[in-house]
Structure 1
Amino acid sequence: MTIVDLPVTAPVTGGPSLPQERRLVTPIPGPESRRRMERKAQAVAAGVGTTIPVFTVAAGGGVLVDVDGNSLIDLGSGIAVTGVGNSAPRVVDAVVAQVAQFTHTCFTIAPYDSYVDVAEALNRLTPGDHAKRSALFNSGAEAVENAVKIARHYTGKQAVVAFDHAYHGRTNLTMGLTAKNQPYKNGFGPFAPEIYRAPLSYPLRDGGLSGAEAAARAILQIEKQIGAANLAAIIIEPIQGEGGFIVPADGFLPALAEWAAANGVVFIADEVQTGFARTGTMFASEQFGIVPDLIVTAKGIAGGLPLSAVTGRAEIMDAPQVGGLGGTYGGNPLACVAALATIETYEAENLAERAGEIGAILFEKLEMLRDADPRVAEVRGRGAMVAIELVDPATGDPDAALANKVAAAAHAAGVILLTCGTYGNVIRFLPPLSIPDHLLIEGLDVVAEAVAQA
Structure 2
Amino acid sequence: MSAVETQAIPLGGPGLAQERRLVTAIPGPRSRDLLARKAAAVAAGVGHTVPIAAVAAGGGVVVDADGNSLIDLGSGIAVTSVGNAHPRVVEAVQRQAAQFTHTCFMISPYEGYVEVAEALNRVTPGAFEKKSALFNSGAEAVENAVKIARKFTGRQAVVAFDHAYHGRTNLTMALTAKSMPYKSGFGPFAAEVYRAPASYPLRDGLSGEAAAARAIDVIEKQVGAANLAAVIIEPIQGEGGFIVPAEGFLPAIAAWCRDNGVVFIADEVQTGFARTGAMFASELFGVEPDLVTTAKGIAAGLPLAAVTGRADIMDASHVGGLGGTYGGNPIACAAALASFEAFENDGLVERAREIGEVLASRLEAMRAGDPRIAEVRGRGAMMAIEFVDAEGRPDAALAGAVARASIANGVIVLTCGTHGNVIRFLPPLSIGDALLHEGLDVVAAALAANRQEVNS
Equivalent residue for 2:241, pick from 241, 244, 248: 244
Are 1:448 and 2:438 an aligned pair?
Answer: no
For 2:454, the equivalent position in structure 1 comes to none
Equivalent residue for 2:46, pick from 39, 45, 48: 48
Deviation at 1:335, TM superposition (A): 0.2
For 1:63, the equivalent position in structure 2 comes to 61
Matches within 5 A, 1:175-324: 175-206=173-204, 208-324=205-321
Residues 256-309 of structure 1, C-alpha deviation per residue, up to 9 Å, x if partnerless? 000000000000000000000000010000000000000000000001100000
* Counterparts of 1:84 and 1:401, CA distance in 2: 32
For 2:21, the equivalent position in structure 1 comes to 23
For 1:439, the equivalent position in structure 2 comes to 435
- For 2:367, give the aligned amino acid: R
Deviation at 1:319, TM superposition (A): 0.3
For 1:331, the equivalent position in structure 2 comes to 328
Deviation at 1:28, TM superposition (A): 0.3
SS in structure 2 of the partner of residue 72 of structure 1: strand
For 1:149, the equivalent position in structure 2 comes to 147
* Counterparts of 1:47 and 1:133, CA distance in 2: 37
- For 2:175, give the aligned amino acid: L
For 1:402, the equivalent position in structure 2 comes to 398
CA contact (8 A) 1:270 1:296 kept: yes
For 1:390, the equivalent position in structure 2 comes to 387
Identity %: 74
CA contact (8 A) 1:3 1:57 kept: no
CA contact (8 A) 2:277 2:381 kept: yes
Residues 170-219 of structure 1, C-alpha deviation per residue, up to 9 Å, x if partnerless? 0000000000000000000000000000000000000x210000000000
Residues 363-413 of structure 1, C-alpha deviation per residue, up to 9 Å, x if partnerless? 010000000000000000000000000001x21100000000001100100
Number of aligned pairs? 450
* Counterparts of 2:3 and 2:277, CA distance in 1: 37
SS in structure 2 of the partner of residue 82 of structure 1: coil
* Counterparts of 2:3 and 2:116, CA distance in 1: 34
Deviation at 1:2, TM superposition (A): 6.3
- For 1:293, give the aligned amino acid: D
* Counterparts of 2:6 and 2:393, CA distance in 1: 46
Deviation at 1:352, TM superposition (A): 0.6
Relative to structure 1, the CA distance from residue 3 to residue 111 in structure 2 (aligned partners, 3 Å threshold; closer, same or farther) is: farther
* Counterparts of 1:16 and 1:374, CA distance in 2: 38
Matches within 5 A, 1:60-209: 60-206=58-204, 208-209=205-206
CA contact (8 A) 2:3 2:30 kept: no
* Counterparts of 1:278 and 1:38, CA distance in 2: 35
For 2:426, the equivalent position in structure 1 comes to 430
- For 1:37, give the aligned amino acid: L
List gaps (5 residues or longer) in structure 2.
451-456
- For 2:442, give the aligned amino acid: V
Deviation at 1:53, TM superposition (A): 1.1
Residues 50-102 of structure 1, C-alpha deviation per residue, up to 9 Å, x if partnerless? 00110111000000000000000000000000000000000000000000000
CA contact (8 A) 1:366 1:388 kept: yes
* Counterparts of 1:198 and 1:350, CA distance in 2: 37
Deviation at 1:420, TM superposition (A): 0.1
* Counterparts of 2:82 and 2:392, CA distance in 1: 37
CA contact (8 A) 2:89 2:300 kept: yes
CA contact (8 A) 2:4 2:31 kept: no
CA contact (8 A) 1:61 1:432 kept: yes
SS in structure 1 of the partner of residue 245 of structure 2: coil
CA contact (8 A) 2:372 2:388 kept: yes
Are 1:368 and 2:365 an aligned pair?
Answer: yes
- For 1:254, give the aligned amino acid: P
Equivalent residue for 2:417, pick from 414, 421, 441: 421
- For 1:450, give the aligned amino acid: A
Deviation at 1:13, TM superposition (A): 1.6
Equivalent residue for 1:379, pick from 376, 379, 398: 376
CA contact (8 A) 2:4 2:65 kept: no
Relative to structure 1, the CA distance from residue 4 to residue 233 in structure 2 (aligned partners, 3 Å threshold; closer, same or farther) is: closer
- For 1:439, give the aligned amino acid: L
* Counterparts of 2:13 and 2:140, CA distance in 1: 30
Matches within 5 A, 1:346-361: 346-361=343-358
List gaps (5 residues or longer) in structure 1.
none
* Counterparts of 1:195 and 1:395, CA distance in 2: 34
Structure 1 vs Structure 2 CA RMSD: 1.0
Q: Show structure 1 runs of 4+ deviating over 6 A.
A: none
Relative to structure 1, the CA distance from residue 3 to residue 103 in structure 2 (aligned partners, 3 Å threshold; closer, same or farther) is: farther
* Counterparts of 1:31 and 1:321, CA distance in 2: 55
* Counterparts of 1:52 and 1:86, CA distance in 2: 17
* Counterparts of 1:291 and 1:55, CA distance in 2: 42
Relative to structure 1, the CA distance from residue 252 to residue 5 in structure 2 (aligned partners, 3 Å threshold; closer, same or farther) is: closer
* Counterparts of 2:429 and 2:15, CA distance in 1: 17
CA contact (8 A) 1:7 1:69 kept: no
